[in-house]
Structure 1
Amino acid sequence: MRSRAEQKRLCVELLRIGESGGEPRDWLEDEDPGVRGCAALAPALASDRAATEVLRRLASSARVFDCALGYGGDSPALRYFVGPPRWTLAEVVCARVDDPGRISEAAHAALQRAFRRSPCPELSPYIRVAFPGGWPRAEAITSAQQTIARGLTARSELWQGNAEHRVATLRPLGLPDDWAAWHKLAQSAMPDDPGPADILVIEDPLQAVRTGPQLYVDAAGRSDPRLPGAIVTQLVEEFARCHGTDESARWNLTIESRGRFVLEVDGMALSAEWAPRRRSYLTTVLTFPQGARAPEWRISVAAAFCAGVLGRTWYGGRAFEQEVVDLRPLHPPTPAGEMHGTGYRIEFDLDMEWLPPGSAIPLGLDAHPRVHDLRSARPQR
């Protein structure tokens, strides 16, 4: 298994090969998202379906590509990009995919970072594909257009404050910059027979949880202020139901800040054994709610609302860890040294970019004996 330094060097080499006209298609199925993405970006693979599919799926969790390439640090791979690598990813995938329905999931994911710059590099490429002829006539509205309209109008914070970035993004594309027009589009009746390209399909299991949070937690949706508390509370309730009186599986949950909490379990481990095309149980617990058993499936649900999750498990004298960024594994489970005993630890960082401004895990959850809230222990000023 390659180290992080080796991974970054490989990414640089793949970008160099692509820049020089090479076709590094042998790396399109690599376990590392950075390696896959750098190989797929090669201009010579622009018409390669497998390469386009790699970019399309990666675009729906684009921050994992940034993290894999060391964005924010001094990684040599970054010299091939202007700004975060995810900006280039969005531009390239939209240039290669002319079917708006195939990139609707990526556009939906990009909404949380809309209108922070002029023009918006996160969302502009998807808007250009979804609205190729400008503002649509009522009889020609597509599902891809309504997906963007509904996502934009559901986020009140995007329409507050300075409108400069919003105006600079939308007007050059022949699109209105006022909430009322987009809301009308979002609520418009669809044509009687939309084609296959007009159907929004959420392929990623964790993204599906985000899209319909009310199906998994006791909250009405993203804007429900109860959502952060419900995520934590129902995780605690599930572990209490399954392990409340089981002394062989001791557990506790610590709330460290308004958006961060840690689950620790002693006496049980999550298998880190994996093979190509076969995920470990640790990976399943972190990324695939439908494949996890009780109570671990609640870990998967909580992970769906996080920007990052770090899982660490230990058994047989060895420890392993795996990081998930933007709903996708950053790497397979990797050895993390020696460690006695059996257990696991999951660190959750809620996605504060996706949640509405001001969202926070509420105080008072430490009324449960297995929950500790470090904020409650701090002296009040």
Structure 2
Amino acid sequence: MSEVSHGYGSEQIRVLPFDEAVRHRPGMYFGLGPADPRLPTRILVAVLGHALHPAAAVAAPHVPQAHAEVHADLVFVVEDDQVAAGPASGPPAPGYFGSLLGPQRWLAAAAAVLSARTVVQVWRDGVGFRQELTRLRPAHPPQRYTGGTGTGTRLSFTLDPTYFPPGAAIARHIDPQDLHEPACGPLAAHGRPPIRDLRTPPPG
């Protein structure tokens, strides 16, 4: 009598590309599913929180400077003072799918997957590079421009309205403490990174 195997073989295992994995299971990255109207808020909190706690490969030991602006219910910008290492006059090493977002910014990359459009700008000592992404896939190679002094990264996200439930929007109040882990200690040690809401206040 032959044995029947009920196990899984390698032919049954499919490894999803990063962008497909994020869209199928956003909860693995942001803790909420696509049907949850709080997901846009959680994405902003995750990206800004990660900018405040950067990987050592991105930021030398210092108190990171980062802030966010909310321009519309599904549109926000995060800017910080870090940039991944790269040639002195060239862009950082290519990241996901050849984009300017590498593994050191995996949460920003996950946010880009859920965005209809993302604009990435990085600069170091006056030399900047800009790239537009559609769901993390580059629309073009990095384009050089004259950047600001010092180092920095600016990420502009337009979340994909077809992905989120009707009425989903970034919350108008976000507790700064949500940007930090308990191990960070008192919030005062980090300051209060500004989250500016530039939307028109609701009536009443």
Query: TM-score when scaled to structure 1?
Result: 0.40
**How far is the alpha carbon of 1:260 from its aligned partner?**
0.6
**How far is the alpha carbon of 1:379 from its aligned partner?**
4.7
Taking a change above 3 Å as real, the CA distance of residues 271 and 329 of structure 1, as seen in their structure-2 partners, is farther
The aligned amino acid for 2:198 is L
The aligned amino acid for 2:21 is A
1:211 and 2:24 correspond: yes
Match of 1:9 in 2: none
**Structure label with greater radius of gyration:** 1
What is the RMSD computed on CA atoms of the aligned residues? Answer: 3.4
Of all paired residues, the percent bearing the same amino acid is: 28
Cα distance in 2, alignment partners of residues 203 and 379 from structure 1: 41
Larger proportion of helix: 1
Match of 1:292 in 2: 103
Q: Which has the higher contact order (CA 8 A, sep 6+)?
A: 2
**How far is the alpha carbon of 1:264 from its aligned partner?**
0.6
Match of 2:198 in 1: 374
Cα distance in 2, alignment partners of residues 325 and 357 from structure 1: 21
The aligned amino acid for 1:223 is A
CA contact (8 A) 1:308 1:324 kept: yes
1:236 and 2:19 correspond: no
1:269 and 2:80 correspond: no
Q: What secondary structure sits across from 1:365 in the alignment?
A: coil
Alignment of 1:314-353 (within 5 A): 314-353=123-162
Aligned to 1:305, which of 114, 130, 133? 114
CA contact (8 A) 2:48 2:66 kept: no
**How far is the alpha carbon of 1:235 from its aligned partner?**
2.1
Cα deviation 1:132-155 (Å, max 9, x = unaligned): xxxxxxxxxxxxxxxxxxxxxxxx
CA contact (8 A) 1:264 1:345 kept: yes
Aligned to 2:66, which of 213, 228, 251? 251
CA contact (8 A) 1:259 1:349 kept: yes
Taking a change above 3 Å as real, the CA distance of residues 270 and 356 of structure 1, as seen in their structure-2 partners, is same
Cα deviation 1:146-173 (Å, max 9, x = unaligned): xxxxxxxxxxxxxxxxxxxxxxxxxxxx
CA contact (8 A) 1:272 1:282 kept: no
Aligned to 2:169, which of 350, 360, 369? 360
Q: What secondary structure sits across from 1:310 in the alignment?
A: strand
Task: Give unmatched runs, 5+ long, in structure 2.
Answer: 1-5, 178-191
What is the aligned length? 175
Cα distance in 1, alignment partners of residues 201 and 85 from structure 2: 40
Cα distance in 2, alignment partners of residues 358 and 336 from structure 1: 37
**How far is the alpha carbon of 1:331 from its aligned partner?**
1.2
**How far is the alpha carbon of 1:200 from its aligned partner?**
9.1
Larger proportion of strand: 2
Query: TM-score when scaled to structure 2?
Result: 0.70
Cα distance in 2, alignment partners of residues 235 and 255 from structure 1: 13
Cα deviation 1:285-336 (Å, max 9, x = unaligned): 99598x512xx22211211211111000111321110110133111111112
Match of 1:162 in 2: none
Q: What secondary structure sits across from 1:216 in the alignment?
A: helix
CA contact (8 A) 1:256 1:373 kept: yes
